[in-house]
């Protein structure tokens, strides 16, 4: 199945794109996708604390992805 | 009124959108670009938003305010893109029958924006730049 990952701020700059289209196995969780995209979080370019959103709503790491989902890894927000 | 925009915010229009005849108190908050931060001199900020989700989260904040204070006259407009020192980046307006609730709800709104709304800012310094981490 297929998901779209949208990237913002430092995560967008790090990958050099604002979107990724990925094939994932059924049963893949948000945390599983994170581990695939960011195998080493020690690089310093990915903040230690990410939040997760699927289809524009916050979810937890164990949320299971569905075909066609829009997934976002949310670095610490700083609006205002 | 709940918006993410790249255009200058019409503060009067935001305030007008919450005013009603039963609202004896109208409280507004303006967030403006400051010329300094812990890292020193700041020359501008670059705001980026996950716009669709940001609007959904801001609507959620309005719903929280309605649940907590019974106030349903709340407007939130956040501007994105490069903003120079002194420019207005966010405007919140709250109208309610009495001032205490309006002040509390307005403060709650800006605090919640900083917690849950997917907007990020990069600080631009005279030499270099950095995404602000919360």
Q: Nearest CA of chain A to the CA of B110: how many Å? A: 7
Query: Does ipTM come in above 0.85?
Result: yes
> Is residue A79 in a domain?
no
- The secondary element (H helix, E strand) that includes residue A72 is strand A70-74
pLDDT attached to residue A21: 97
CA distances from B39 to B32, B36, B84, B112, B127 (A): 18, 7, 17, 24, 11
B48 closest CA partner among B13, B14, B87, B89:
B89
Full pLDDT tens readout for chain A, 80 residues: 999 999 999 999 999 999 999 999 999 999 999 999 988 765 555 666 889 999 999 999 999 999 999 999 999 999 99
A72 at B interface, C-beta within 8 A: yes
Supply the CATH number for residue A7's domain: 3.10.20.30
pLDDT at A41: 63
pLDDT, greater one: A41 or B72 = B72
Looking at the domain assignment, is residue A12 inside a domain? yes
Number of domains in chain A: 1
Q: Residue A7 domain-assigned?
A: yes
Q: What is the domain extent for residue A66?
A: 2-74
Q: From CA A48, how far away is CA B3, in angstroms rounded?
A: 29
Tell me the sheet residues that pair with B2: B76
| A25 CA: distance to closest CA in chain B (Å) | 26
- In this prediction, residue A38 carries a pLDDT of 87
Q: How far apart are CA A27 and CA A9, in angstroms?
A: 28
Residue B4, token pair as written in the block: 């993410």
Model-wide pTM > 0.90: yes
Residue A79 C-alpha, separation from nearest chain B C-alpha, in angstroms: 5
Asked, for residue A68, whether it belongs to a domain, the answer is: yes
Residues of A in contact with B118 (CB under 8 A): 8, 53, 72, 74, 77
Q: Which residues of B touch A77 (CB under 8 A)?
A: 114-120, 134
| pLDDT score for A45 | 57
């Amino acid at each position: 199945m297929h998901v779209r990952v949208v990237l913002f701020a430092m995560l967008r700059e790090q990958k050099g794109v604002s979107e990724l289209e990925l094939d994932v196995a059924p049963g893949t969780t948000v945390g599983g996708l994170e581990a695939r995209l960011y195998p080493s979080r020690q690089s310093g370019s990915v903040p230690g604390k990410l939040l997760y959103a699927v289809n524009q709503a916050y979810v937890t790491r164990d949320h299971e992805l569905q075909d066609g989902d829009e997934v976002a890894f949310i670095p610490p927000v700083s609006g205002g | 009124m709940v918006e993410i925009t790249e255009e200058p915010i019409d503060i009067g229009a935001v305030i007008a959108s919450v005013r009603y005849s039963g609202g004896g108190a109208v409280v507004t908050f303006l967030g403006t670009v400051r010329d300094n931060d812990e890292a020193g001199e700041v020359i501008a900020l670059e705001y980026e938003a996950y716009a669709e989700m940001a609007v959904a989260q801001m609507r959620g904040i309005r719903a929280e305010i309605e649940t907590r204070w019974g106030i349903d006259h709340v407007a939130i407009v956040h501007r994105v893109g490069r903003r120079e020192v002194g420019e207005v980046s966010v405007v919140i307006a709250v109208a309610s029958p009495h001032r205490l609730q309006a002040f509390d709800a307005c403060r709650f709104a800006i605090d919640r924006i900083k917690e849950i709304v997917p907007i990020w800012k990069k600080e631009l310094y005279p030499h270099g730049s950095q995404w602000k981490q919360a």
